[in-house]
Amino acid sequence: MTAQLWITGDDDTDRLLSEDPFALLVGMLLDQQYPMEHAFAGPRKILDRFGTLDPARIADADPDEFVALATTPPAIHRYGRSMAGRVQAVARAVVDDYDGDATRIWTDAGASGGAPTGAEVLRRLNALPGYGERKAKIFLALLGKQRDVRPDGWREAAGEFGEPDSRRSIADVTSAETLQEVRAFKKAQKAAAKEGGR
């Protein structure tokens, strides 16, 4: 596994994301309509308030109480209430489908009985609540580029997010500088889309 991630700029939060695969999975879930570094700080807020990131405990938590901890300022997300439900749904999927071990999403045997392919890992990620194809591709790219999780065909499965030396997503963030480069890329894409829609 590569060195500690640099995603939020906070050492303790980035250490958690580096060491806890479920935390990283939840951070990616929250990375939507919210600044990247704040989204990935969400798992640390959950840990601090809930006391654990154990998927079974989160899945079984009282939904109203979990919403309360997710929306307590600073909230885990701009849409803390709905995201609390998504976090619990992802936790439930990890418990039910992978025995509570998020790493099994990318380590469980594939259709051939051997290691899963990039396409199979992408399919599993895409099946998670709150994950769509784009989010699944970005997370696969993050695993490949920064966590040394490189199933056969992972770059192809991740599409443009798997491209080496790109600055498209959180998968490419390794410093404050690259965070700004990714942000600039996203801003340019939004501007181009807006211009194209006229």
pTM, to two decimals: 0.93
Architecture of domain 11-196: Orthogonal Bundle (1.10)
pLDDT of 1: 46
All residues at 6 or more sequence positions from 133 whose CB lies less than 8 Å from its CB, including other chains: 122, 126
pLDDT of 99: 97
Would you kindly state where each structural domain of the chain is located, as residue ranges? 11-196
Output the CA–CA distances (angstroms, integers) from residue 44 to 6, 47, 133, 154, 198, in the order listed. 14, 5, 25, 28, 41
pLDDT of 198: 60
The helix (H) or strand (E) run that includes residue 43 is helix 42-50
* Cβ neighbours of 72 (radius 10 Å): 12
CA distance 80 to 190: 24
- For the chain, which ranges sit under pLDDT 50? 1
